[in-house]
Amino acid sequence: MKKAGSKKKSSFPRLSTAELVKRESSVFPPGAANARLLRVDKKSGFTHLDHANRPRMVDVGAKAVSARTATAQAIVRFPPAVARALKRDGMRAKKGPVIDTAIVAGTMAVKRTHELIPFCHPLASERCEFTVEFATPNELAIQCEVAVSHKTGVEMEALTGATVAALTVYDMCKALSHEIVVADIRLLDKSGGKRRVRGGKIES
C-alpha cells in the first residue's frame, strides 16, 4: 500500500549539461551550421553557463564598442471581416487608435527588454522605429528597428518590440474577434557584431 505523502519518482533521468550536449550532438551532427545555432563555448559548454553549470550573463567587457542595429518582424493575421472593419474605421477600435498604441507599447518594451529576458544586457537604445502596414489584405506586418552603440547586439530588443506591438494589436482588436493570430516573429536584419543577418539569413 502506498504511504500517504510519498512522492512519485520521476521517470525522466536527470542529465548534466555535458550529457545533454552529447545527446543533442547525436541527433544534430556537429558542423558549422549547428555550431552557429548552439553557440557552444569550449570551456563551459554554453555561453550562458559557467564552469559549474550555473547561469550567468555573458561577459562583454573585452569587446569593442560598435554601431549595432537589428530589425525584427511580427505578423498579425486578421479574419477578413475584421481586417475590412479596421480599414474602414481608420485602424481604430473601441479602445482607441490601434497602430499608435502598438507603437508606444513596442517602444516601451524595447527599453525594458533586459527586465523580461534574464540575460540580456541593459542597453540605452539610441533609436527605435516602427513600420506598420498591411503586407496582404488580412496580414498586418509590424517591423521594429533598434540601434545602439554598444558591445552587444540589439536583436532581442527588436524582437521584443515587434512582439509586444503585435500583442497590443491583438489586445486592441480582440473585441472584434478571438481568431486573430500573431505569427512569424523573426529577426530580419542584424549588423555590427560578429554575425551579419540580412533578410532573415546569416551571411557568411
pLDDT in tens, 32-43: 333 333 344 444
Q: Residue 199 in contact with residue 72, Cβ under 8 Å?
A: no
**Residues labelled as active-site residues:** 171
70-91, pLDDT tens digit by residue? 999 999 999 999 999 999 999 9
CA distances from 22 to 25, 33, 45, 174 (A): 5, 17, 11, 45
User: How far apart are alpha carbons 48 and 24 in whole angstroms?
Assistant: 17
User: How far apart are alpha carbons 45 and 130 in whole angstroms?
Assistant: 37
9-36, pLDDT tens digit by residue? 555 556 665 565 555 555 444 443 333 3
Task: Write down the H helix ranges in 89-128.
Answer: 98-111, 113-116
pLDDT over 90 for what percent of the chain?
53
- Nearest in space to 87 (alpha carbons), one of 79, 102, 175: 79
Q: How many residues does the chain have?
A: 204
